Amino acid sequence: MAVTLTSQEIQGAWSALVKGVRTAVLLTMRNGRPFGSHVPYVFGEDWSRAYLHLSQLALHTQHLLADPHVSLFIAEPDGPEKNPLALRRINLMGQAAPLTPDAPSYDAIKERYLSRFPQAEMMFGFGDFALWELRLEDAHFVLGFGQAFVSTAVTPARWVHQKVERLSARKD
């Protein structure tokens, strides 16, 4: 029998996951096919905004310039004592755009990024690196067997069990 969780409990689980896992898989489109890259990230106020510090020389940046559609995938680390199918994981989907240094939020995002990744400070001085903002619209968060939830950027703190969401979509 599945345990019922509140949106607040799911928010707590999301927060714990992203605090404990500092890198994600960034999925971009390369010639119409998904391409995955391992990237460090920070979030804004909620999951609907994520920030990456990317080199223009990287393939994923070239892909973003051609097609801004992205997915960001974050999963708890596997281990011999864990069931790999029950690992907590979140898949976020949206679009990416460069965050220019004159943007009102640039300094605060840079500070947040360097607080989490102080070793990146030198790269902020390199001309080919830039902050990118991921404007994420949809989230799919799996907490374990039978515990999969969805949310949208319209109400990012509201999580609905995916079974309920599927039933709701059938009625429309």
In a domain, 21, yes or no: yes
Residue 157 Cα to chain centre, angstroms: 15
Range of the domain at 149: 7-171
Q: What are phi and psi of 142, to 5 degrees?
A: -105, 125
In a domain, 117, yes or no: yes
pTM of full prediction above 0.85 = yes
Domains of the chain: total: 1
Q: Is the dihedral of CA 77, 35, 143, 84 positive or negative?
A: negative
In a domain, 79, yes or no: yes
**1 token code pair:** 């029998």
Q: Specify whether the CB–CB gap between 41 and 53 falls below 8 A.
A: no
In a domain, 2, yes or no: no
In a domain, 163, yes or no: yes
In a domain, 156, yes or no: yes
pLDDT band at 3 (very low <50, low <70, confident <90, very high): low
Q: What is the pLDDT of residues 63-99, one digit of tens each?
A: 999 999 999 999 999 999 999 999 999 999 999 999 9
User: What are the CA-CA distances from residue 11 to residues 40, 52, 86 (Å)?
Assistant: 21, 22, 18
In a domain, 1, yes or no: no
- Report the pLDDT averaged over residues 15-27: 97
Q: What is the pLDDT of residues 119-171, one digit of tens each?
A: 999 999 998 999 999 999 999 999 998 899 999 999 999 999 988 655 455 45
Nearest to 139 by CA among 151, 148, 157: 151
Q: Which one-letter DSSP state was computed for residue 2?
A: P
In a domain, 150, yes or no: yes
CATH number of the domain that residue 158 is part of:
2.30.110.10
